[in-house]
Structures are given as C-alpha cells and as structure tokens.
Structure 1
Amino acid sequence: MRENEISIEELSYELSIVLDGLLYYAGVAKTDLEEVANLYVECSDEALEGSDAQGVDEVIVIVEYLKQKYPQYFKKKGK
C-alpha cells in the first residue's frame, strides 16, 4: 500500500467518528451514540424506502426518521 493511501479500517474509523458527531449535534447524548449509530445503519433502508433523496439528503432523511421513530434518544434544543 502506498504511504498516502487510507486503509479500509482507517476510513471506517473516520466515518464512525463523523456519524457520532452528526448524531451528537442532532441531539443524541454521548452515552447513546453507539446505540443510535447502530440504529442508523439498521434503519437506513427502511428510512429511505420510497424516498428519492440522494447524497446529503439521504443522511437528513435517515436522521429525521430516527427522530420520529426513536424520540427518546433526541433531546429538545434549548433544554
């Protein structure tokens, strides 16, 4: 592997951190990030069913789906 190439493991780790950050800023407590990240992966197909969202809009649709289906993990803004 060339020195400037990123391994699959490194990329997976970085994407995991990005997903945790995304969910944290969406209102998920740090203690629940792992569980909600797993839900994100598990529910992505279901959340996107019938949607024509692409790219970043897919992420938005999935997070909104999680907020509706699992509101207990998302704190209200300002609280």
Structure 2
Amino acid sequence: MSTQVIHTSYTEKAGYVWRKRYASNTLSVALHTKSPAEATRRSASLSIRFMQLETLAVPFVAMREAIKAYRDELMN
C-alpha cells in the first residue's frame, strides 16, 4: 500500500521536508525522518497545526517558529 505524504518532498540526504505557502513565503520544515510512515504522521500533524494558526493570521516568522516548535514536540 502506498500513501501520499501531503506537502512534503524527499531527498536521500535530508529525508522528508514539509513545505507550505504562507504570507507570500514558503514555510520549510525538516521532518527529521526517512520513514514514509513517520513522515505521513508528522506531515499530517503539521498541516493540522498550520490550519489552526492560519486562522489567527500570525506573522510569517511567528508561524515558522510555532511550526518548528510543534515539530520538535512531535519528535519527543
């Protein structure tokens, strides 16, 4: 079974990276995994958090820091 990982790209060196356009910029957050299953889980979680914060219309820098902090929480 194959699952598409939403908003991600993959490289052999870095593994999966989550990307999303916001406020005329691109958020780019390394998922720190090369596992497709783990990347799917983390990507879905980041996408949900992104949608929650997007409704607050936070500035780009605040959004980036919040998403990275959430990614760090997911890794623990």
Please classify the TM superposition score into its range, dividing by the shorter chain length: 0.3 to 0.5
Higher strand share: 2
TM-score, normalised relative to structure 2: 0.45
Higher helix share: 1
Higher relative contact order (CA 8 A, sep 6+): 1
